[in-house]
Amino acid sequence: MSHIAVHLADGGFARGSVMDLVRVCRRFGVESCVWTAATLAALPVIAMNLLELPFDGRASLVIFLSGVLIYNLDHLADSYGEAGTATMWTQGIGRRTLTGLVVAAALALAIALLLAPSGVALVFVGYGLVGSLYGLPVLPRGGAGARSWMRLKDIPGAKAAVVASSITLAAVGLPLAYAGQAPTLAMLPVIGFIWVFVLSNTIMCDVGDLRADLVSRVPTIPVLLGVAGTRALLVLINSIVLGVFYLGARSGIIPLHLEAVFSVLLVLGYVLLLSERTPKSLMSFCLDGCSFAPLILAYVFNGSPG
């Protein structure tokens, strides 16, 4: 008892408990597929806000469940790889739990799609198809006598654009499908903002993976342009988005949407500050956390994120 009392008096028990709690929160929160899927689920709410659609949480639910399903399938595949290749998340919860998450997410997603309007299923198929094509041999290469097939991922710099296109299709298409609306030309600035927002995030993730991609010879944008060139490209693209919103608001074509403007400025901030030397955990936290920024800013400026 005296030893315990001394330990408590020194604050050791409290410090240990807090650190244990932090580790649990990191493993089952920020470092888990739940956190990543939640960042994807925030994007349809951003689209609803910018497109002035009524809030419908079903669009976010579909993306969240598909994210949980895809990431856990990936982790489950990793768990059967060579020793040491499984991620911390895989090591932390085991194959049985991973299998349960995959089955539960698949069933819940199937039910959500069965209860959804027909247009939602079409968008979902398109979203999945664009994402799947990234790793499939769909492009012919070589002459007629020795034709082979090339994957989209083999095209230098294509990874980020394909990923951003797939996620943007879901983030914008699902809210429109649930609202029963078709896309219009007036929506292009919003669609462009979300595409560039996701593209910047994806490319900066590749900056964090630069050393591994160089060794593996994966032709990402940072591998092709270097960190300085990548920064310059992202600054240019995001500056164009700012210019579109500014000129569109001045001409009365689109509302200014301050949450979008400040979100672009936030993206420019992490583009300039983060590098390949940034710790992986900090990089992931900053990039994924920025997915919630437009919602927070919408609440600050408008009093409601939806």
- The residues spanned by each domain of the chain are 31-138+147-302
**pLDDT for 169:** 93
**pLDDT for 249:** 83
For residue 187, the tally of other CB atoms under 10 A from its CB is 17
Residue 172's identity, in one-letter code, is: V
**pLDDT for 8:** 34
For residue 291, the tally of other CB atoms under 10 A from its CB is 20
Q: How far apart are CA 195 and CA 163, in angstroms?
A: 9
Q: Which two tokens stand for residue 199?
A: 């593209």
Query: Could you state, in chain order, the average pLDDT of each consecutive group of 10 residues for the chain (306 residues)?
Result: 41 51 51 78 92 92 90 72 47 72 91 93 87 68 62 79 91 95 88 95 93 87 94 97 88 82 93 91 84 84 64
Q: 260: closest CA among 293, 286, 288?
A: 293
Q: How far apart are CA 223 and CA 157, in angstroms?
A: 9
**pLDDT for 92:** 56
Residue with the two structure tokens 């092709």: 224
**pLDDT for 21:** 52
**pLDDT for 107:** 95
The pTM of the whole model exceeds 0.75 = yes
Q: How far apart are CA 245 and CA 238, in angstroms?
A: 11
Name the CATH code of domain 31-138+147-302 (choices 1.10.20, 3.90.105, 1.10.600, 1.10.287). 1.10.600
Q: Which two tokens stand for residue 19?
A: 């650190």
- Please check whether residue 165 is in contact with residue 196, taking contact to mean a CB–CB distance below 8 angstroms: no
Q: Which two tokens stand for residue 76?
A: 């489950």
